[in-house]
Amino acid sequence: MSSMPLEDAIRTRLTSLAGPVPFADIADHLERDAVFVVASTVSLVECGVAVAMDDVSRVEAWVATGELRKPSRAERDAWPNETTRRWMAVIVQPFVLVQDLPD
């Protein structure tokens, strides 16, 4: 049985739910260490699909290159003070994936 229909359904759902969020929306998730930063070189939605589908090879590759990572201590300290900053975010329980908004 192919997982493509499930993968496509997840992709559609994440695409519809992805959106810009302020720090206040991710603060609690950051506190419980559930936030991951996705590099701009990776599609936020595709990363979410890979996490949701437990695609270990893709996720491990992004982690190895630093394209998927936990926020640094400097970022965790700075973000609460960046009151106008927004991130694109998707929730893939129990994680929140964030990516800088394009300029």
In this model, does residue 2 exceed pLDDT 90?
no
User: Is residue 79 a contact partner of residue 35, using CB atoms and an 8 Å limit?
Assistant: no
In this model, does residue 85 exceed pLDDT 80?
yes
pLDDT tens readout for residues 19-71: 999 999 999 999 999 999 999 999 999 999 999 999 999 999 999 999 999 99
* Reported pTM: 0.92
In this model, does residue 1 exceed pLDDT 50?
no
At 102 the pLDDT is: 74
What is the DSSP code string of 22-44? Answer: EHHHHHHHHHTT-EEEE-TTS-H
List strands edge to edge, sheet with 19-22: 19-22, 86-92, 95-100, 35-38, 68-69
Tell me the mean pLDDT in the region 79-90.
94
> Which of these, 76, 87, 45, 41, lies nearest to 62 by C-alpha position?
41
The C-alpha atoms of residue 23 and residue 25 are separated, in whole angstroms, by 5
Residue 70 CA to chain centroid, in angstroms?
Answer: 10
At 7 the pLDDT is: 94
Question: How sure is the predictor about 83, in pLDDT bands with cuts at 50, 70 and 90?
Answer: confident
